[in-house]
Structure 1
């Protein structure tokens, strides 16, 4: 099957997976009212989702790199559908956290598997991979409106609606191994199924650790928008609906920004563009709670473009450093980076509880700025010449 058809199926899967990952944040105020939660305890939903997707994602990445089990992709979507759908039927806060963790486990399986399939060896690698990433952002963008719509009509039980998208594409994801053909791990067949890379093992490990640290720091900052923008909207008297709008424009910004940033990275380099994106995001975070509604919407969109584009480029940086282990490379950013950042979401919520939104977002701005340091060191490490083996 052609690359285009395979990429279409993978992109639809990413749409569904990220749809599930973005259903709950706009419902945090509703869930907080039902269960009597503080900002910090509401942040446990984000922590549960990202922690479950991080804790075992490197394991799934390694398993897929080694065994390439075809059932892993459809299984990931089934777990996401079951986890999100059951949130509306369980009877307590702890049980709802468990459901969120089940959905997170689905994401832990999906990202290393689908990213390994979709990262093609090409001079346009960034642009092609961005198509896969954009589909996920579209899913995340429509999730707030769908979530608020179905819960407004049927309450939390309306979340069962979200099982439908997974069912519609399940058959095609089961056959994805047939579509992949002779392109193992997304590598080019011209190089024997593996891309050539001349980095020593020690340098790859150091680069991976540095890029992973940047991913964690950037995700802490990004969670400040995704997890707490709805609360900020309610606190400013703008309503829960405006909070959902902030999340939607955040992901719309990502949809526009990811292909542009990926194309620029094909021309100017992954590191340079990533540093520029995170450098722009830092001051915007500090200003976010101080703006009027129009300014908040605009900044939310720009922050979505910055953070999701940077995440995409960090994944590509590691794919190019570990071309034969793209599943594991993906899990460093999607798993360790997103999950590590998610674990600290309750801490961010606690800062907001104690110091208010202005203080919380200033701290997030500083964390975002500090994320540039390990990335700059990794860039320098990569540029140091390495002897090419005979």
Structure 2
């Protein structure tokens, strides 16, 4: 019995990984609908920029800050069917967003979407971890690339659906949410069966973890460093996705549609980078990929604001690809730093990091208002230099030794 469960845990379940990756794409595409609707809502309901900011803040705070909380709860008691239940809340939020007649109801609808997303991410990451076998980097990449691709679809969602159909066009995404719910019911059944098969092993782990409560000082220091790297990456990406389109319009006299192409190239290249980062980490090591990802981005990130539009487009694509190779890798690194806390580490590295990115974007917007847009875009190019911190991280072998 134990031999069979050991074999199952070593096998990479690609069918589960591709399904959970697809669900991640659908979930994050729905979340991307909210900021994509801002120009529509501003016109149809006469919302101010402050009100739009409140909508964005509500979405990001609920979906991001609640992720570590959900992770802590589900680490203690895994909840397979929380996945379809969470997406059902998202479905309700999407319908509310499409037909809400007032600002207050839009905020409430967005909170439902954010809550569904907060439930999905830690448990989705746990499913990827359970289905990974020995290829944890690849598994996390398949899972995370779905989410990043969903986010990259925001410019296309705006152009193809929301501009012609308006606010009610968001209702089409209830079909997307319904598909995700059906897929997640299948995932939840598999997850439940895997939990039942591994129950004796989980009880044994819980007994040993009760004896060794608390994190060592060296683990806490390493976790602080990895979170600092994630925050730096999130601040840079947040600054570029929120403000670079305005910079490109001002600097190169582009139209709104043309500026969205620059943004789409940056995001879709990031999604590709996310996919390749995991297998590279499985082969060369997580610490090496994290260091390479941050530091190799530096020259391109610094030069982007100062080169002609064609080169800027090329450098944006390269930067998005290289920087995001570390996205899934930092999640796996944190999970291996604190084994047994898969949901908590996923919530910290993905959820809280994106929450900090959202807060960072408010600060970057203030800098742009205080000085200038070009000076803000130029200054964030130096953020990847914080990648030097990666050299202070313990090696993959050291982390494995700590866990023995």
Shorter-chain TM-score bucket reads 0.7 to 0.9
Does residue 258 of the first structure (1) align with residue 244 of the second (2)? no
Query: Is the 2:13–2:133 Cα contact (8 Å) retained in structure 1?
Result: no
1:156-209 deviation per Cα after TM superposition (whole angstroms, max 9, x unaligned): 221121111111231231232321366449999999996999996333232222
Cα pair distance change 1:341/1:31, threshold 3 Å: same
Query: Is the 1:26–1:240 Cα contact (8 Å) retained in structure 2?
Result: no
Segment of structure 1 superposing worse, 90-99 or 209-218: 90-99
Please, what TM-score do these two structures have when normalized by structure 1? 0.85
- 1:106 maps to what in 2? 116
After the TM superposition, which residues 218-237 of structure 1 pair with which residues of structure 2 at under 5 Å, given as runs?
Answer: 218-236=233-251, 237=253
Give distance in 1, aligned partners of 2:120 and 2:326.
20
Query: Is the 1:22–1:143 Cα contact (8 Å) retained in structure 2?
Result: yes
- 1:124 maps to what in 2? 135
Cα pair distance change 1:375/1:189, threshold 3 Å: farther
Query: Is the 2:83–2:188 Cα contact (8 Å) retained in structure 1?
Result: no
Cα pair distance change 1:78/1:382, threshold 3 Å: same
Equivalent residues, number? 387
User: Which one of 33, 42, 60 corresponds to residue 23 of structure 1?
Assistant: 33
User: Which one of 238, 259, 264 corresponds to residue 254 of structure 2?
Assistant: 238
1:134-177 deviation per Cα after TM superposition (whole angstroms, max 9, x unaligned): 22222223332123211221112211211111112312312323
SS at match of 1:56: helix
- 2:3 maps to what in 1? none
- 1:7 maps to what in 2? 17
Give the Å deviation of 1:369.
1.9
After the TM superposition, which residues 1-390 of structure 1 pair with which residues of structure 2 at under 5 Å, given as runs?
Answer: 3-29=13-39, 35=46, 37=48, 46-91=56-101, 96-119=106-129, 120=131, 122-180=133-191, 183-184=194-195, 201-236=216-251, 237-370=253-386, 372-379=387-394, 383=398
Give distance in 2, aligned partners of 1:336 and 1:238.
34
SS at match of 2:127: helix
Give distance in 1, aligned partners of 2:317 and 2:196.
33
Cα pair distance change 1:26/1:178, threshold 3 Å: closer
SS at match of 2:164: helix
Q: Which runs of 5+ in 2 are unaligned?
A: 1-7
Cα pair distance change 1:186/1:5, threshold 3 Å: farther
Please, what TM-score do these two structures have when normalized by structure 2? 0.82
Give distance in 1, aligned partners of 2:329 and 2:274.
9
Give distance in 2, aligned partners of 1:188 and 1:134.
30
Give distance in 2, aligned partners of 1:59 and 1:157.
33
Query: Is the 1:289–1:357 Cα contact (8 Å) retained in structure 2?
Result: no
SS at match of 2:381: helix
Cα pair distance change 1:98/1:74, threshold 3 Å: same
Cα pair distance change 1:187/1:375, threshold 3 Å: farther
SS at match of 1:12: helix
Give the Å deviation of 1:113.
0.4
SS at match of 2:382: helix
Segment of structure 1 superposing worse, 70-79 or 24-33: 24-33
1:78-115 deviation per Cα after TM superposition (whole angstroms, max 9, x unaligned): 33344345444445666544543432222211111000
- 2:5 maps to what in 1? none
Give the Å deviation of 1:214.
1.8
Give distance in 2, aligned partners of 1:304 and 1:19.
19
SS at match of 1:238: coil
Cα pair distance change 1:388/1:179, threshold 3 Å: closer
1:297-336 deviation per Cα after TM superposition (whole angstroms, max 9, x unaligned): 3233223323432221110101112231110110111122
Cα pair distance change 1:138/1:258, threshold 3 Å: same
SS at match of 2:166: helix
SS at match of 1:323: coil
